[in-house]
Amino acid sequence: MAGTLPIEDLGLIGNCQIAALVARDGTIPWLCLPRFDSDPVFATLLDSEAGGSFGVTPAAGEKGTQAYLPNTNVIETTFRTADGSFRVIDFAPRFFHHDRPYRPVQIMRIVEPLEGTPRIRVWCDPVLGWSKEKPARRFGSTHIRYLGFPSPLRLTTDIPLAYMDGRSFSLTGRRHLVLSWGRPVNAPLASLCSRSLGDTVRYWQKWVKHCNMPSLFQQEVIRSALTLKLHCYEDTGAIVAAMTTSIPESPDASGRTWDYRYCWLRDAYYVLAALRRLGHFEERERFVEYLLDIAGANPSLELAPLYRVDGSADLEERILPNWPGYEGHGPVRVGNGAVTQRQHDIYGEMVLALAPVFLDQRFRQEQTQHTLQLLRRLSDRAIAVAGTPDAGIWEHRTAPRPQTFSSLMCWAAADRMATVASRHLPETAGYYTQAASRIREELLARAWNPNVGSLVATFGGADLDAALLQASSLRLLPENDPRLHGTIDTLRRELSTGDWMFRYRDDDGFGRPTVGFMICTFWLVEALAMAGRAEEAREVLERARASMSPLGLLSEDYEVATGRMWGNFPQAYSHVGFIHAAFSASPRWSEL
C-alpha cells in the first residue's frame, strides 16, 4: 500500500529511544523497535511492496504538506482532498515524569478533520524484521496484537477495527492511534494522546529555548539541533550516525549502501562538539559513561570505529538478497564491515570529546581520576599510532596507508592533552607538548605538497582529501599561514562541483564518487570563516542551505545534476556540519 518516496519527502520523529520516518503520503515507511539498531517493524523504505508500513492517507492517495510544529520534533501532515481536508500529527512521546525523562517505545498518530468530511484509509502492516514474514494478529475490542515479536506489539485505536485493513471510510471526528512495544496502553486514548502531545511539545520547545543561537541561519540551526538530539540513544549515551541502513550514496548502483544505525566514535565527537556550541552538555555526560564502558571492556584501547548502542561490537556485515533496496538500488546490508578496520583518527576525536570536561569548571563532578586516566591513555595511543597506516576517515576498503587526516587528529590529541596536563598532570605536560610538536613537524614535512599547493591525503602523495579543511578549525596552522589558504583554495577548486564538495576524487574500491558529500561543504564554510574570509563563508552557506529538504533535514550526499539527496537519512554528520558552519559564518551578536 506504500511506495518509495524521495528522501526529501520524509520527516523524522523520535524520543531518544526510538525513531521513525514519516512520509508526505501519510505512511511510516521506516521504524525499528525497540531501538535504533533493532530489526525493522516497518521497512517499505527498502522494499516498497513487502517491507511493511503504517498508513493514514487520503482515500485517493493525494500527498500532503508537512511541517514540524514550531521548535519541536512533532510532525503535522495536512491533506486537502475533494471531500475535505484533514491533518495527521505524528510524534513519539518525550517529557519529564516524576523528574525523569519519559520516553516510552510508542508512536502516537492523531487524525483530525479540518474541513468537510474527508475519506481516508488506515492500515498497520508490520513485518517480523528482516524475514519480512507477517505476524499473526489477535483482535481485541479496541486493539490489534501482532504476534511473534520479542515483546508485545500492539496498536490501540478508537477507529473501528473493521476499517483497519486499508478500506476507505469517512473521517467524522478526531481519531487516535498508538503503536506500543512492551507495555500496552490502558489509559483513555483521547486524553492520553492529547496530554502526551502537549507535554511533548512543551518539552521540545523548552529544550530549544535553552539552545545558544548564532546570529544568522537560526531556523536551520534549530532544526539541526533537534535532529541531532534524536540521534542520541539516551539509555546508554550512544549517538548514532543515522537512523537508516542501505540508502545508496548515489543512484549509479555503486554498491555504497551501508548500515549507519550505530555509534561511530568519530561522529559522536562531532555531535558533542555541536551540542556544546548550542549550550547543551548533558549528552557529553552520558557519552562519557558509554565510552568508559567500552574502554573498560577493552583495556588495550584497540578501539573499533563503531559500536552498537549497547556498546557491543558484533557487527559482522551481511547482505540480504531478498530485499531490493531503496528505489531498487541494492544491496541491503545489515551490520558494517568497518568495525574490523583500524582508524587512528578516532583517538584524537575521543580526546577532543573528553578534554573540555577538564577545561571547564562547570564539570567539576565529571573531573574524575578514572576519566582523566582514560583521556591520558587515549592520548598516548594517538601518539603511538601517528603516521602509521590505517583505513582513514573515509573507511577505504583498500590497503591501509598513512593518512594525513589521521595524523592531524593524533596531533590534536597530543596538543589538547598538553593543555589538560598543564592543569591536572603538570609533570607530564612537557611530554605531550613535545609529542605534539614532533607529530606536527612530521605532518607538515610529509603531507605538504608544494607542487599541489595543499596538504594532501597521504604522506608523500598528491591526492586530495576534503577532511583536511579541518586543519583550520583544529588550529594546525595560523590564520595567515599561506599553506592554510593554499589548502583551502586547492581543495575548493579541485573537489567542488557546483556548490558542493566531494570527499575525494580517487577510486575507493567502488569506483570514483559521483556526488557531493554534504559535510565537506560545511567544513569549507568553517575553514573560510576561521581563515578570516567570513563573507565568502556566508555566501557558500547561503547557497548550500537552499538544498535542505522542505522540513529542514539533510542527508549524507547531494547529487548536483538532479538536486536530489542520497545516503542514509537524516545524517547526523551533515547537521553537525551545518551547526558549526552557521556559528562560524555568523557575525557575533555584539557586532550587530
Q: Is the pLDDT of residue 299 over 90?
A: no
Q: Is the pLDDT of residue 142 over 70?
A: yes
What percent of the chain stands above pLDDT 90?
84
Non-local (6+) Cβ contacts of 107 within 8 A are: 13, 18, 20, 28, 31, 54, 90, 91, 92, 178, 179
* pLDDT of res. 254: 75
* pLDDT of res. 507: 72
Q: How many domains does the chain have?
A: 2
- Quick check: helix, strand or coil at residue 20? strand
* pLDDT of res. 295: 87
CB 79 within 8 A of CB 43: no
- Confidence band, pLDDT 50/70/90 cuts, at residue 251: confident
Question: Residue 444 sits in a domain of what CATH number?
Answer: 1.50.10.10
Residues 112 and 243 in one domain: no
Residues 214 and 204 in one domain: no
Whether 482 is covered by a domain: the verdict is yes
Cα separation, 116 vs 131, in Å, equals 42
pLDDT digits 0-9 by tens, 2-11: 446 899 999 9
Residues 409 and 387 in one domain: yes
Question: Residue 23 sits in a domain of what CATH number?
Answer: 2.70.98
Residues 449 and 366 in one domain: yes
* pLDDT of res. 255: 85
Which of 148, 181, 208 finishes a domain? 208
Average pLDDT, the chain: 94
pLDDT digits 0-9 by tens, 259-283: 999 999 998 889 999 999 999 988 8
CB-based burial, 328-361: b 16+ in 10 Å, e otherwise: ebbbbbbbbebbebbbbbbbbbbbbbbbbbbeee
pLDDT digits 0-9 by tens, 447-480: 999 999 999 999 999 999 999 999 999 999 999 9
* pLDDT of res. 1: 39
Residues 121 and 242 in one domain: no
Residues 196 and 275 in one domain: no
Residues 399 and 449 in one domain: yes
Residues 18 and 135 in one domain: yes
Mean per-residue pLDDT, 103-112: 98
Cα separation, 28 vs 37, in Å, equals 17
Residues 438 and 469 in one domain: yes
Among 24-33, 48-57, 272-281, 395-404, the least confident range: 395-404
Whether 267 is covered by a domain: the verdict is yes
Cα separation, 482 vs 323, in Å, equals 51
Question: Which residues span the domain enclosing 336?
Answer: 210-591
Q: Is the pLDDT of residue 591 over 90?
A: no
Whether 1 is covered by a domain: the verdict is no
Whether 2 is covered by a domain: the verdict is no
Reported pTM: 0.95
Residues 433 and 451 in one domain: yes
- Confidence band, pLDDT 50/70/90 cuts, at residue 98: confident
Mean per-residue pLDDT, 333-362: 93
* pLDDT of res. 246: 97
CB 551 within 8 A of CB 234: no
Cα separation, 29 vs 541, in Å, equals 31
Residues 304 and 329 in one domain: yes
Residues 223 and 193 in one domain: no
